[in-house]
Amino acid sequence: MSLWVDLHRPRSLDDLHYHQDLSARLRALASSDDFPHMLFYGPSGAGKKTRIACTLKELFGKGAERIKIDQRVFLTPSKRKLDVNIVQSNFHIEITPSEVGNYDRVVIQEILKEIAQTQQVDVSARHRFKVVVINEADTLTRDAQAALRRTMEKYMSNMRIILCANSTSKLIAPIKSRCLLIRVAAPTETEMKLVLDFVAKRQGFGIDPEAAQEIVQDSGGNLRKAILVFEALKMQSPSLTGPLSIAKPDWETYCHKVADMIIQEQSPERVMQVRAKLYELLSHCIPPTIILKTIADRVVDKVDESLKADIMHWAAIYEVRMRVGNKKIFHLEAWVIKVMSLYKHFCFDIDMDAFD
Amino acid sequence: MPTPSKSKAVSKKTQDIRGFFGGKSNTKSELVDTHVKQSKAGAVKTRPIEISDDDQESTPQLPVPSKSASRKKPSALISSDEEDVPQSSHSRKKPAPEQKLDAKASFTEPRKKALKIVDSDEDYMDEDDLPNPPKPAKASKQPTTSKSISTDKAKPKTNVTGMDGARKTGKDDTKPSFKPNWVAAKATKMANQTNGPVNVPSPADPNCLSGLTFVFTGELDSLSRDEAVDLAKRYGGRVTGQPSSRTSYVVVGADAGPSKLAAIKKNNLPTLDESGFLNLIATRTPEKLDDKARKKIEKEELAIKQAAKEMERRERSSKNHADDLSNQLWTDRYAPQTLKEVCGNKIQVERLQQWLNDWPNSVKAHFKKPGKNGMNVFRAVLISGPPGIGKTTSAHLCARLAGFTPIELNASDARSKKLVENSTNVSNTSLDGWMAGGSATNAAGITITDKTCLIMDEVDGMSAGDRGGVGALVALIKKSKVPIICIANDKGAMKLKSLVSTCFNLPFKRPEAAAIRSRILTIAFKEKMKIPAPVIDQLVAGAQSDIRQVLNMLSTWKLSSNTIDFDQSKSLSKMNEKNSIMTPFDITYKMLGPYLFSATARETLGEKMELYFHDHSFMPLFMQENYLKTQPSRVKNESGPEKILKQLELMDKAASSISDGDLVDAMIHSSEQHWSLMPLHAVCSTVRPASYMYGHGGGYGSPNPICFPVWLGQNSKQNKLTRQLTDIQARMRLKVSGDRVEIRRFYVPALYPHIVKPLIDQGGSAVDDVIITMDEYYLNREDWDTIVELGVDEYRDEIVLKKIPAVTKTALTRKYNAGDHPVAFHKAVALGKSAKKLAAVGPAPDLEDAYEVDDELEEESEDKTNGDDDVSQDSLIKVPKKTAKAKGGAVAKAKATKTAVKKKSK
């Protein structure tokens, strides 16, 4: 059985549960001949991809749902082979250039040109153009983004681009100005409850409002997470009543452990233990930003009011450094030591006060 | 050591030299002048002349202070100082006012000193200003005074020095009173050169520490370790690394090593602190040499002279038929002619000689008799060792002495397989000896015999162009009828692996300085150079016992001067320093150790950065891995909360500097490639963190030893898992909208209760359900492994896999493989893959191997394949074989019987 998230995913614009005005606009755009390049952005779990899929279906009909995956091999100028997974239907193609890291420019250039230069052969197609969906657009390198710029204008007749990103801040302005920006905000609590209710009904049971409330609170606006947690809870205690203990994902509890370690002790040995844990998180594919954010949240929860601003300030600084730099662990560690130093100073100040 | 012959002889000699230089002085350059001044008995004595032109007046006065000298040296010193300095300042009005000031300073200084000297032995404390006056004086003097004058001055000076060098005769006794002055000045000048605030006292005697053995431990107050060791050596002391019962003094500084302290206690050694050490320099006079020692020294000298004479004789005789020897390099001219002359590695050379001598017998015994050293079963010897220690020389010498004609092939010859096979005379079929009638010699003066010896020099240099060379050589060795001597620098090289196993290994070590000293002294004597023994030791140490380099250095030096002193030798060997690459471990140890950044350290920022450039890709990683493992010296004086806070602050600074370093690194390695930022990277990533965190700890034995950076391993693990995760995401994409990160963050934990947990809880019965869920997401068996591997904390793969019984796992695998499964997509076919499969039929032969293996192996492999065929076909085939054998046996038997019958009939 598929998980509920995937089982009950809306397939068309009409099925969407929230952001109705957005759905209406997308429908209008799809029916007009003047479909623009688009940039969907919003937090993860808000429904960007779902909306993109629905829009594609609105544009091209059922054919857009028949997708297949292809693996293509690209050659870098240095003759290195790159495997890129391409999801495509007859009407659109979906790529995730960030899979190949720094070589994303090669992928963008080759694929876009290839698509732009071939016309739609299917005479019965509703539109002359094909759509290229680019996932994780905010992780595109500067070179790749620059490579996009000109193609977006030049091949407008054959191709539309839909970018999907978490935030627009990492996209260069020329790209943003060429797209219709569509913000997919995280659903509100009531909207999320609505969805949970819908899922429960489809599964053939009712959900306790309190349980729904708890799940929604835990999810922090991430509907995917909410539904996944909902299902896990249902598996744990089929009745969904009583005190619910929402199981946190493994990496989150691990991050919390790290945060607790930082607060418990501040010493070089402890830094090295924390470093080992950070290495483990990083090597198990938890993005460094998430690690930093989770730990910082937890640390801030536990420390005195006067320290919170400082800790977050430094977290922000080191997050920027992580993005600019190569070796994430260096910056994470620097932040950890900074927090330890701040905390220790604070502790000893308290002590001094007590002595006075 | 200065030649301790009779003083008269010495003075005579110096007279000669004086005359020699005096005569030439008008034409010789300044360089010569300075060398003359800094003649033999040590740097120190150059001072007097340099201080002023008018010294001439003071030099005649030398004998005056006389007997008061021995104990009251300091006062005598001052008086001489006072005499000198005013004169110099008055006499020379040209020099800049600055100099005047200096002179004044020194003028007042001595008085102060005089006072202090009377009451205590702290005298060295206030002498720190002393170096200043002489220095400008020297600088200004050289341009102003004419050369002839300076050489004139040199005369008296050399006179003095020569006498110093000699034992103290009554006449000489007067001189020490002056010496300290120059010695101190020179020493402090040296200290000044390194910009250190060091107060080196004037020594009681230039050899005041002779006969003493020192061990330094811990961090001295004002002297850096190197400086202290230098001082000890300069004044004739010996310095060893570990305290033992033969150690005279242990100079103990702050944070002394615990093991050394233990050794001190055990051996009951006297200890000194820095002031004590300096005091020792200021006050000690060496005991007079007893007769025995003197005789020994004299004997040594005699030996040197004899050796030199022998050399000369040999040269003269060889001149008859060889070209002019003066055209030859020193290294050739003075190459050892007898085994006795080979420096160091005596045992190895003897063995080599023995092996060569035994060669005819070994051949007769078919290399079955191991002989005394177990060497006679080998047809070849591999000599390995660092350059310049006489490997090639010994090989040639031994071969010649054993009556072999050496044929040398080195890296300048092409040594490919074919050439090695054809150009060498392994079957010993040379006709040279026959052609020349057995008595002729070839161009190199070697008697040609019918015995040849192949010397393969620089075998580790057989590379690219010499494809298959090593393999051919190994094959050659296996059937050789002539001895083969292979020579390499690094026998651990992968290339030589096969060679090492076929040769007898003779590792040559760097000879000790003592082993080289007499040889170099002989050569120097022969070349009429004046070099004291400590200077030679210094040169040898600087060249890391590379005799060839020492000789080359000396022959170069000879072009400009005939004498060389301690400091010159130091700078000379520094100039010729080999660019040795330290390992990252050593560098990290050095950088984070307590000395590099201590107050007494003399290294410049540039030198510290240089350490980073030894290995610029590894050093930042090593620093990041290890910077927290020290007890920072910067907080060693604090305690309690302050210490903790201070340490955290230091850590913070270091860590943020490392973080800066990474940003710089990103700029260097980004598309813009700002390589010019490397020095900045060196400072940010390596030097600065170390400057905060340096201190004790991090040693090899400590609880937190310096480690190899785990970043590399972790990074490759991350890359691998990311790749696998991308794969999973691609498969799941047909069902799931999330990207990679979302898959990891939410789907992996969400899938866990569906595809992993049932296996733990229910075992084999859950396998079917698990497979259904996996199929739903197009996951295959490997993806299941990946998902488990991606877990952290209590979902760590080790923990999880331990919980699943092996039976269940195999059930899952078997069941999965048994069924058909939906496939999201087929992996792109990499072009290389099919080729690999083809190659996989047999083990892919290594190229080098392929050449080495040669025909024999091919035959072997053919045999093998035949055998395989037999086995792979059924047992029926074996039957005829057996019968064939049986037949053969029968035939043989029949034959045997036939012959038997014949015999009988006979």
Per-residue pLDDT tens digits for B193-216: 444 445 677 776 767 777 788 888
> Could you write out the three-class secondary structure of B574-595?
HHCCCCCCCCHHHHHHHHHCCC
Residues of A in contact with B747 (CB under 8 A): 3, 228
| B55 in contact with A, Cβ within 8 Å | no
A241 falls within a domain: no
A45 falls within a domain: yes
A302 falls within a domain: yes
Mutation site, B638, B659, B741, interface A, largest A CB count within 10 A: B659
Return the pLDDT at A264: 92
List Cβ neighbours of B871 (8 Å cut-off, separation of 6 or more): none
Q: How far apart are the first and last CA of chain A?
A: 66
- Of all helices (H) and strands (E), which one includes residue B900? helix B878-905
Span A281-300, mean pLDDT? 94
Closest residue on chain A to B790 (Cα): A284
Range with the lowest mean pLDDT among A83-97, B66-80, B312-326, B821-835? B66-80
Closest residue on chain A to B751 (Cα): A3
**Binning pLDDT at 50, 70 and 90, where does residue B158 land?**
very low
Measured distance CA(A23)–CA(A28) in Å, rounded = 9
Interface subset of B 762-781, CB within 8 angstroms of A: 772-773, 776-777
A77 falls within a domain: yes
Cβ distance of A250 and B731 shorter than 8 Å: no
**Binning pLDDT at 50, 70 and 90, where does residue B418 land?**
low
Partner residue facing A1 (CB), from B746, B772, B794: B772
Mutation site, A72, A105, A279, A337, interface B, largest B CB count within 10 A: A337
Return the pLDDT at A272: 93
Cβ distance of B645 and A345 shorter than 8 Å: yes
Distance in Å, alpha carbon of B620 to nearest chain A alpha carbon? 10
Span B549-570, mean pLDDT? 81
Q: Are residues A82 and A215 in the same domain?
A: no
Distance in Å, alpha carbon of A153 to nearest chain B alpha carbon? 26
Please report, for the domain that includes residue A173, its CATH number: 3.40.50.300
Partner residue facing A285 (CB), from B651, B656, B725: B725
Q: Are residues A74 and A168 in the same domain?
A: yes
Q: Are residues A226 and A312 in the same domain?
A: no
Measured distance CA(A130)–CA(A92) in Å, rounded = 5
Tell me what the pLDDT averaged over chain A comes to: 88
Crossing angle of helices B225-234/B274-283, nearest 10°? 20
Share of residues in chain A with pLDDT > 70 (%): 97
Return the pLDDT at B318: 64
Return the pLDDT at B123: 40
Tell me what the pLDDT averaged over chain B comes to: 69
Residues of B in contact with A254 (CB under 8 A): 792-793
- Domain region containing A206: 189-236
Closest residue on chain A to B824 (Cα): A69
Partner residue facing A334 (CB), from B656, B725, B740: B656
CB neighbours of residue A139 within 10 Å? 20
Return the pLDDT at B578: 65
**Binning pLDDT at 50, 70 and 90, where does residue B77 land?**
very low
Residues of A in contact with B753 (CB under 8 A): 232, 235
List Cβ neighbours of A136 (8 Å cut-off, separation of 6 or more): A96, A97, A98, A164, A165, B739, B740
Residues of B in contact with A321 (CB under 8 A): 659, 662-663
- Of all helices (H) and strands (E), which one includes residue B499? helix B497-502
Return the pLDDT at A164: 94
Q: Are residues A213 and A292 in the same domain?
A: no
Q: Are residues A34 and A148 in the same domain?
A: yes
pLDDT by residue (tens digit) across B346-403? 888 888 888 888 888 888 888 888 877 788 888 889 998 888 888 888 888 888 888 8
A68 falls within a domain: yes
User: Do B436 and B486 touch, CB atoms closer than 8 A?
Assistant: no
Cβ distance of A2 and B731 shorter than 8 Å: no
User: Of A3-17, A67-81, B432-446, B676-690, where does the model show the most confidence?
Assistant: B676-690
Return the pLDDT at A179: 92
Measured distance CA(A345)–CA(A303) in Å, rounded = 13
Q: Are residues A178 and A195 in the same domain?
A: no
pLDDT at B835 over 70: no
Closest residue on chain B to A46 (Cα): B738
Cβ distance of A224 and B641 shorter than 8 Å: no
pLDDT at B66 over 80: no
Share of residues in chain B with pLDDT > 70 (%): 61
Span A119-138, mean pLDDT? 84
Residues of A in contact with B624 (CB under 8 A): 327, 329-330, 333
Residues of B in contact with A105 (CB under 8 A): none
Return the pLDDT at B414: 66
Structure tokens at B213: 């053995």
Return the pLDDT at B134: 43
In one-letter notation, the amino acid at residue B225 is: R
CB neighbours of residue B387 within 10 Å? 14
Radius of gyration of chain B (CA): 39
pLDDT at B463 over 70: no
Q: Which of A172, A205, A236 lies at the terminal end of a domain, its last residue?
A: A236
Range with the lowest mean pLDDT among A307-321, B403-417, B726-740? B403-417
Return the pLDDT at B683: 94
Closest residue on chain B to A232 (Cα): B750
Return the pLDDT at B417: 66
**Binning pLDDT at 50, 70 and 90, where does residue B854 land?**
very low
Please report, for the domain that includes residue A309, its CATH number: 1.20.272.10
Return the pLDDT at B479: 79
Return the pLDDT at B712: 93
Count of domains observed in chain A: 3
Span A217-242, mean pLDDT? 84
Span B459-466, mean pLDDT? 68
List Cβ neighbours of B590 (8 Å cut-off, separation of 6 or more): B582, B596, B611
Span A162-166, mean pLDDT? 93
Measured distance CA(B771)–CA(B752) in Å, rounded = 13
Return the residue matching tokens 């002595």.
A355
| B656 in contact with A, Cβ within 8 Å | yes
Span B496-509, mean pLDDT? 86
Return the pLDDT at B621: 94
Measured distance CA(B325)–CA(B317) in Å, rounded = 11
pLDDT by residue (tens digit) across B749-805? 888 888 888 888 888 888 888 898 888 888 888 899 999 999 888 888 888 888 888
**Binning pLDDT at 50, 70 and 90, where does residue A175 land?**
very high
pLDDT at B493 over 60: yes
Residues of A in contact with B665 (CB under 8 A): 325-327
pLDDT at B883 over 60: no
pLDDT at B78 over 80: no
Measured distance CA(A129)–CA(A38) in Å, rounded = 14
Q: Are residues A128 and A163 in the same domain?
A: yes
pLDDT at A261 over 90: yes
Could you give the count of Cα atoms lying within 13 Å of B121 in the half-sphere of its Cβ? 13
Share of residues in chain A with pLDDT > 90 (%): 45
Residues of A in contact with B659 (CB under 8 A): 318, 321, 325, 330-331, 334
Q: Are residues A36 and A159 in the same domain?
A: yes
B200: DSSP letter:
P
Residues of B in contact with A70 (CB under 8 A): 825
pLDDT at A183 over 90: yes
CA distances from B239 to B215, B251, B590 (A): 6, 11, 20
A7 falls within a domain: no
User: Do B771 and B779 touch, CB atoms closer than 8 A?
Assistant: no
Closest residue on chain A to B640 (Cα): A348
User: What are the respective helix, strand and coil percentages of chain B, to the nearest 5?
Assistant: 65, 5, 30
**Binning pLDDT at 50, 70 and 90, where does residue B446 land?**
very low
Q: Are residues A210 and A166 in the same domain?
A: no
Q: Are residues A64 and A164 in the same domain?
A: yes
Q: Are residues A270 and A158 in the same domain?
A: no
pLDDT at B94 over 50: no
Span B667-672, mean pLDDT? 84
Share of residues in chain B with pLDDT > 90 (%): 8
pLDDT at A148 over 80: yes
Partner residue facing A348 (CB), from B645, B726, B825: B645
User: Do B357 and B402 touch, CB atoms closer than 8 A?
Assistant: yes
Return the pLDDT at B502: 86
Q: Report the DSSP beta bridge partners of residue B384.
A: B488, B507
Mutation site, A341, A342, A345, A355, interface B, largest B CB count within 10 A: A341
Return the pLDDT at A190: 92
A129 falls within a domain: yes
ipTM higher than threshold 0.95: no
Partner residue facing A337 (CB), from B655, B730, B749: B655
Residues of B in contact with A85 (CB under 8 A): 726, 730, 733, 825
Measured distance CA(A18)–CA(B552) in Å, rounded = 87
pLDDT by residue (tens digit) across B163-179? 444 444 444 444 444 44
Q: Are residues A133 and A25 in the same domain?
A: yes
Return the pLDDT at B442: 44
pLDDT at B129 over 90: no
Range with the lowest mean pLDDT among B342-351, B620-629, B817-826, B881-890? B881-890
User: Do A232 and A247 touch, CB atoms closer than 8 A?
Assistant: yes
A6 falls within a domain: no
Residues of B in contact with A87 (CB under 8 A): 733-734
Return the pLDDT at B423: 59
